[in-house]
Structure formats: structure tokens, C-alpha cells
Amino acid sequence: MCGIAGVIYKDKKTHPVGEALTSMLESLQHRGPDSAGYAIYGSLDFPENYYQLNIEVKRKRGALDNLKSLLNQISPIFEEQLIESVGDSDVYKCKIALDEFSLLKPCINEIDDLENVRVINGSHSFEMIKDTGKVKDIAKRFDVPSRMGTHGIGHTRFATESGVDRYHAHPYQSYIIPDITVVHNGQITNYWKIRDPLERKGHTFESFNDTECIVH
């Protein structure tokens, strides 16, 4: 019973995608009260091989410093922002450079090995925003209505099969094919039959949400 929204502008110019998606998702809030998320394309004007990382950082002593220390070993940090979030963590946004897209997932895995931090996503041509709570609160927290773009998708989630946190919120993205994001309404009944052989092949799953198997 989730809600799905999408918008695309035919002229390929930037438009207030964040505002449009927020309006649609607020109308669909009754279909998904647990969490909400966006993938807004064309909002990041990055040179080739630059990526934005969104990282959950627990409010623990040294957590953010340890994260920045590791990031600086991987790449200089070109831009950064710390956004206050709900619960016991905040969201740290930063811009880094990698030689190629195939290095993005290994970079994320290395960051995830640190204590008290976990990567929400990493992207080049789209910005992903997702969190628990109501659409209006998430939109305000991350200033979504100000986001310009060419197209985007959004989702409100009603959890039925897995937990409620920002990692089980939609959209999900592919780290195999660049710039692919997915939102889904329904249940994939053979989820485990799909996931098990993928994991044996080395695929890493970030949640127990059945939608995630689609991006693998």
C-alpha cells in the first residue's frame, strides 16, 4: 500500500522537481506513513567522476572525525554539510572524487567498516534523499522543495515485510549500472530465492527490503 510519484520535464531544462514531488507525496502520505524518499535527477552539477555521499553518523565522540580521516585517505573532501536528523544520528553530505564508477561501491564498503557510520547512498547525477517520518518533515529537514532537476521519482512507504529505518526506505539504487534508482509498491514473493544466489555471487545487500533485489 505504498505511494509512488514521478515527474519528468520534456524540455530537459531544470525545474522545481523537489517541490513537485513533495506535493505529490504529501497527497499520497496516507498510503505510506512510515518513511519517504526521493531521487532527483539533474540536481547535482558535478564534473565527471565526482560523487556525493550521504552518510549516517551516530552522535558518538570521534565518529565524524574518524569518518573524515578515512575519506581524506580516499579523496579530498570538496564540499561538506552536516544535517541534523531524527534519533541518535545526523546525515553528513560530502563531495569526493573517484577515478571511475566501479570504485564507488568499494569506497562505500570501506566506510561502512567504520564504527558508528553507515553510507545511505553515493551518486553522481542524481540526489537521493530518504528518511523515516512524514513527507512534510523530511522535505523540511533536507530542504527538498528547493531542489531543481530534470526529472525524479518519490515514494511513501507502508512497511509490511521489513523494518522501518532510512535504509529500508525507497528509492534503492544500483551500484552496477550508474544512475538507476527504483521505487516499488507490492511484494516480491520469491525475494529470498532471488537474493540467495545473488549473495553467493558476491552481491552485498544493505537491507531486508524485497525491493532491493531489483537493483541487483
Query: Among residues 101, 94, 95, which one has the least CA distance to residue 49?
Result: 101
CA distance 158 to 190: 20
Catalytic residue, candidates 2, 94, 107, 213? 2
User: Catalytic: 94?
Assistant: no
CA distance 35 to 132: 4
* H-type alpha helices, 117-202: 135-141, 191-200
Scan for cell 510519484, then name that residue: 5
Q: Which grid coordinates are listed for 79? A: 564540499
Q: Which grid coordinates are listed for 214? A: 531489483
C-alpha distances (whole Å) from 144 to each of 58, 130, 131 are: 23, 10, 12
Phi/psi for 38 (5° steps) reads: -135, 150
Phi/psi for 19 (5° steps) reads: -65, -45
CA distance 199 to 122: 21
3-state secondary structure 27-41: HCHHHCCCEEEEEEE
CA distance 146 to 81: 16
Q: Which residues are catalytic?
A: 2
